[in-house]
A and B are shown apart, each in its own frame.
Chain A
Amino acid sequence: MTYQSMHQFHYMTLSGLKTNKGWVSPAELPANLQQIGTLVAPVDVDGNLFDEYIVTFIKENNVGNSSEDKSLFTLQPSGYLKGNIGSAFLKFGPLVRHGKPVIYQYVGNFMHPDFFWMLVELEPVSEEQMDDLYDREKIIIAGCDPLSAYTS
């Protein structure tokens, strides 16, 4: 199995009205729209996480100088996705808001195999751990690069 055929984390933002509300990539929003994004992941028809995901992360050396790499995250019996990035073991789970996971379809114009599935918003078990990883190692978890991973 290759990276390309595995499910991935994506960085998306919400767009649209109630009737067609869904995820779009910040890369397809107008340049003057400052709407922050979040990590999302595809889920099966029952809304459950898949067993494995590829997670893209960026290590920033300084402005204009960064590198991307990938790591495998696997579903644990606890229901969280766990993986190793840099010196940290990180866990993500579905974000639950008002008693329900935040799940929408992708409604933008890009194409990716994951966009056939619904996408659930993720949250790290510890935001502080993510901050520490950035502070110490300049690593951010950014999901797929829209320019290389998506087609239009």
Chain B
Amino acid sequence: VPLDIYLNVAVGGVLTGLVYGLMALGLSVIFGVVRVVNFAHGEMMTIAMYIAVTLFSVFHLDPLVMLVPIAAVLFVFGYALQAGLINRFIARPEHSQFLLLVAIAIIITNVLLILFGPDSQNVQASYAYDSFQLGKLIVDATKFYAGLTAVAVTAGLFAFFRYTSLGTAIRACADNYTGAMVVGLDVKRLYALTFAIGSACVGAAGCMLLLIFDVTPAVGPAYTLLAFVIVITGGLGSMPGALIGGVLIGLTEALAGLLFTPSAKSMFAFAILVLVLLFRPQGIMGKRAA
């Protein structure tokens, strides 16, 4: 296989991995602060993808242009979900939280099935078939735009948590729940905000992934699983870890498909997960539990 093919495949894998990373970032942020594992993560992303499909088919609005409004819709959805439902389960056993979120996931899937039917849907953006050629390197335009946007959104999120007082307050909740309550922080509201931010992340990722992949109501669980693999690999609760995990999984899948057999590429992604669990259980960027 010529070297340029390896390069093309690797670049494609990294770009796809960046979007995977953004999707997983939402899961990581929610777990890092609220300590609730969102088992409806992939299904929430399909909501965003279907909103983007509808806006495109009715108004011809590009998913990348609609990224901010759709992320805002998911923000509101996430806030309402946490404030209205999940906050009541925070103190309950983990299996109760698991059942609640799995139930939400099933409801989302079936509502989407009723509304949109089982057929796969996609958007045919004007640049859907474009690619950039740099010498022998051919870069898929949609993956390039999606990857670039994922980096920008992640950087914005990082800055928010690092440099704003609200972000600092949220991090305080994550670091010390009791301490945050003692200093007068409205923890439940901050939890709802965090869940909303995580949901907005997955909304943005959905807009970008729609440019690369088709959507059906049934794809949610596959994305939830993928997000788990990524955040566990990168480190549950770590923001840079989610992005690194995403890139690592994207790159592994791409190169394993080229070097070995494409039908076994997911196996290699799971092999990475197993190796991480064996030799660095806290994940690449995760902190070891005290």
Asked if A and B bind, the verdict is no
Taking Cβ atoms with an 8 Å cutoff, the residues of A that contact B are none
Taking Cβ atoms with an 8 Å cutoff, the residues of B that contact A are none
